Structure 1
Amino acid sequence: MGSLRPGDAGGADRFGPDGPGGTSRLQLGDAGEAQVDCTFCGIVAGRLPARVVYEDDSAVAFLDIRPLRRGHTLVVPRAHVVDLTAEEAGQAVAAVGPVLQQTTRLLIDRLPADGVSLLQANGSAAGQEVLHLHFHLVPRWAGDCPLNNWTPAADASVSLDDLHLQLAPPGS
């Protein structure tokens, strides 16, 4: 199911039952439950827009809004888990595995990319900015520059709408 920011062209918006700006609020709760102030919980719940390229019952893959390379995608578990140190992290990683695999195949096949780098950070010192476990899938091409810093490549910010259309499931 694909989604865009309100007003973007090229796909259908996906929002929660109250629509954009609705009054539904997620409850704060234990790990695994959606957190009201978590950006990724908002995306998973459909309260916040995202350009989803793949999803299943356990995880969601969507285009990063600050891509390092063309097609840079984030994969997040639907359950709220802060990072790999959380008690529930092992279960979340197992649940995300199939989506990582399917999204990697999608990036290699449809971009096409020569490979994909998998990156993950735990804690602010490691560069984690959103406190919801997530994995970066960064498409790579023969001869591109190494990922030894998080400075976006010049061509990384191509039209996210066009890229979404290229990667999203048909009809989304």
Structure 2
Amino acid sequence: MSLTGAYDPDNIFAKILRGEIPSVKVWEDDRILAFMDVFPQSEGHVLVISKTSTAQNLLGIDADDLAAVTAAVQRTARAVTRALSPDGFSIMQFNGEAGGQTVFHLHFHVIPRWADRPMKGHGHAPMADVEALKTLAAKIAAALD
């Protein structure tokens, strides 16, 4: 998919927002949903999405929604680092198929990183155990400010 075109209301994140597909929530409010990536590139990999915007990518979101998402990414990254004590973290955001985007609902990845653990490739990680994700989500949620 290119950087333009109509938003697909049947993308997996839209279905998660409508409750049609389950997710392992870390936290949410009226504008944001943060949930565990089921194909984590690293232990504690969290996705952050807007609940109010149907932007496919960074180019389509309005400034107010982007500000809310950016603040949510920072809040989530703080909780991930408090909860899991990684050596660092990566924030990733992909735009368009050629840019590595696989789900065309704007989203940000918060990926904890450890010096002695390689990160799995985007779109190449195996599916995680749901119970393990629930444990991680609870630990991260408990570290929210």
The TM-score, its normalising length taken from structure 1, stands at: 0.67
User: What is the aligned partner in structure 1 of residue 55 from structure 2?
Assistant: 81
By how many angstroms is 1:111 displaced? 1.4
Give the alignment partner of residue 13 of structure 2, picking from 40, 52, 64: 40
Paired residues, what number?
134
User: What is the aligned partner in structure 1 of residue 3 from structure 2?
Assistant: none
Written as runs of structure 1 = structure 2, the 5 A alignment for 1:4-153 is 36-78=9-51, 79-86=53-60, 88-145=61-118, 149-150=121-122, 151-152=124-125
Question: Does the residue aligned with 2:14 lie in a helix, a strand or coil?
Answer: helix
Q: Percent identity among equivalent residues? A: 35
Conserved? CA contact 1:77–1:134, under 8 Å: yes
Conserved? CA contact 2:77–2:110, under 8 Å: yes
Change in 2 beyond 3 A, CA 1:75/1:111: same
Partners of 2:46 and 2:119 lie apart in 1 by 17
Letter in 1 for 2:72: V
Conserved? CA contact 2:32–2:72, under 8 Å: yes
Calculate the aligned-residue CA RMSD, in Å: 2.6
Conserved? CA contact 2:42–2:119, under 8 Å: no
The TM-score, its normalising length taken from structure 2, stands at: 0.78
Partners of 1:102 and 1:129 lie apart in 2 by 24
Conserved? CA contact 1:118–1:136, under 8 Å: yes
Specify every segment of 5 or more residues in structure 1 that has no aligned partner in the other structure, as ranges.
1-29
Query: Which has the higher relative contact order, 1 or 2, with Cα contacts under 8 A spaced 6 or more apart?
Result: 2
From the two aligned structures, give the one with the greater helix fraction: 2
Conserved? CA contact 1:107–1:167, under 8 Å: yes
Conserved? CA contact 1:75–1:99, under 8 Å: yes
By how many angstroms is 1:43 displaced? 1.6
Specify every segment of 5 or more residues in structure 2 that has no aligned partner in the other structure, as ranges.
1-5
Conserved? CA contact 1:84–1:90, under 8 Å: no
Partners of 2:62 and 2:106 lie apart in 1 by 8
Partners of 2:133 and 2:119 lie apart in 1 by 23
Question: Does the residue aligned with 1:94 lie in a helix, a strand or coil?
Answer: helix
